Amino acid sequence: MSQKYTRAELVLVTIVLAIATFMQVLDSTIANVAVPTISGELGVSSTVGTWVITGFGAANAVSIAASGFLAKKVGEVRLLLISTALFTLFSFLAGISNSIGTLIFFRVLQGAVAGPVIPLSQSLLLRSYPPIMKNMAMAFWSMTVILAPVVGPILGGYICYNYTWSWIFFINIPLGIAIVIIGIPLLKRLETKPQVIPFNFISLGLLTIGVGCLQIMLDKGNQLGWFASKQIIILAIISVVSLTYLVIGELFSKNPTVDFSLFKSRNFTIGTLSVSLAYMAYFGAIVLIPQLLQEVYGYTALWAGIALAPIGIIPILISAPLAKLSNKVDIRFVITTSFVFYAICFFWRAFTYTPNMGLAEVVWPQFIQGIAVACFLMPLTTLTLTGLPENRLASATSLSNFFRTLAGSVGTSITTTMWSNNAALHHSQLVENINPYNPESTLTYQTLERIGLSLQQIPSYLNQQINDQSLIMSANDIFWLSGCTFILLIMMIWFAKPSQKVN
């Protein structure tokens, strides 16, 4: 048993830190489905409304990267509680905003203060548990990170349908207040001593500009036509130049804002790369599947979210026994199991997503993918942090979470771009088959005429059917690519050193 906490106190610590994490991850996705409602009520276009998401994401990415440095400067517990308190305040102010400019401003502030919460909750949780129970703690913590993006759209859709959009921000208030009130006395035993280290304003400025421009480029790239747009080119140049100077400067700094020396650890490098690539594919699917279900199959936002929800059933059932097993076996076997099931489920979707697909074809791959989810983040986190001293955990979790978050944005951008581009390609190929010299085309026209469509209605009907088929085929291309990504990750993970078994 930990010398810091009794068993009951450990349970409470886990709940407090898990809720803090869940609240932050939830807030990064819950607003996605609310953008049309917010834009309509505040009288702006959806293009302007998407800055509610982009502003939060850009500020959040910057603050996650700087979290390790800030934790050393302020103290881990103090920074976590201050961030949660400010996040709660800005949630309230975002909820009462009556203009899009005010809302975007407070969303940016929300993202900026939310950054430290996820890596610090992970670091504090690891430090609060004895070695034999760390995997158990990380298993429960990991479920909040993986499942919150699934819950977010469901909850956001329900709130916007039944209440006002302001409540997607107001729901943070009681949670934030509870975390701060309980956390002040409960977490003080985990506080780290603040270090007297100077602020490197040049590094912080380069980080803010470089990551901020990169995040905005990823969010707006598909909408603006990527490098056909001067705005995207300028953002890319600024981002590359800023981040290049940042990395060079940080490698030679005694007190780096972002500790890139962590990549000297083989496990940290392989673990961070693996979790980033895996999260890129996973998060891309979270964005793609609901859109596909709504655009092609006529699902509402709420029902699209419900169809994805079964992914959480298996992790809830097997996380505890899996954590115990992870103490006794080579953790790479557990991670391999995750990647195998991810690959199976993506290939499964590539075969079963057809125009006549029913709800069962959506639900079953989601349900089975729960095995992959349960075996994913906890083992990978354990492997990534293997061999690092306790005083570097905050910096390590900050940097790995930064790359994981950034990978989610990259995955979203790649997925949405591939989906639209490949759909256009499939559409042009399918249209080529509709001509007077194709017997199947002629037969289709005759069949549609017999069921009552006029010659003027048939082209419109066929175009809609081809559009739907093209979107499905494009989605299947992405599923194939995602499955192959996990196959490659299976091979890569075995280059890491095995984590130490705990008896």
362-388 pLDDT, tens digit each: 999 999 999 998 888 888 888 898 888
Which comes out higher in pLDDT, residue 197 or 279? 279
Of 161, 196, 231, the residue at which a domain comes to its end is 196
Same domain, 112 and 209: no
Q: Give the residue-averaged pLDDT of 424-438.
A: 81
Lowest mean pLDDT across 21-35, 247-261, 421-435, 448-462: 448-462
Judgement on whether residues 225 and 148 belong to the same structural domain of the protein: no
What pTM was computed for the model? Answer: 0.84
pLDDT at 455 over 80: no
Output b/e per residue, 34-66; b: 16+ Cβ within 10 A. Answer: bbebbbebbebeeebbbbbbbbbbbbbbbbbbb
Cα three-residue angle 111-117-119, rounded to 5 degrees: 115
Q: pLDDT, tens digit, for every residue of 165-216?
A: 889 899 999 999 999 999 999 998 888 888 877 777 888 888 889 888 888 8
- 């060079």: which residue's tokens? 248
Over range 125-146, report the average pLDDT: 80
CA atoms within 13 A on the CB side of 263: 11
What is residue 29's predicted lDDT score, i.e. its pLDDT? Answer: 75
The domain of 226 spans 198-254
156 has pLDDT over 50: yes
Residues of the chain above pLDDT 90, percent: 32
Query: pLDDT-based confidence at 8, cuts 50/70/90?
Result: confident
**Same-domain pairing of 202 and 191:** no
Mean pLDDT score, 381-401? 85
468 token code pair = 């739907």
User: Does residue 442 share a domain with residue 324?
Assistant: yes
For residues 410 and 294, membership in a common domain is answered with yes
> Looking up tokens 């709940």, which residue turns up?
15
Same domain, yes or no: 241 and 304: no
Q: What is the DSSP letter of 473?
A: H
CA atoms within 13 A on the CB side of 421: 12
Is 274 in the same domain as 188? no
- The mean pLDDT value for 341-367 works out to 93
Q: How many helices (H) and strands (E) does the chain have?
A: 22, 0
pLDDT at residue 503 tops 70: no
CATH classification at residue 283: 1.20.1250.20
**CA of residue 239 relative to chain centroid, distance:** 21
Q: What is the mean pLDDT of the chain?
A: 86
Q: Are residues 309 and 224 in the same domain?
A: no
Q: In terms of domains, do 348 and 490 share one?
A: yes
Q: Does position 346 have pLDDT exceeding 60, yes or no?
A: yes
Q: Which of 232, 254, 276 is the last residue of a domain?
A: 254
Domain closes at, from 146, 174, 196:
196
Percent of the chain with pLDDT over 70: 97
Residue 46: pLDDT band (50, 70, 90) is low
Q: Which of 325-329, 423-427, 452-456 has the lowest mean pLDDT?
A: 452-456
Count: domains in the chain: 3
Residues 102 and 136 in one domain: yes
Is the same domain home to 122 and 210? no
Whether residue 9 is found in the same domain as residue 107: yes
Is residue 405 scored above 70 in pLDDT?
Answer: yes
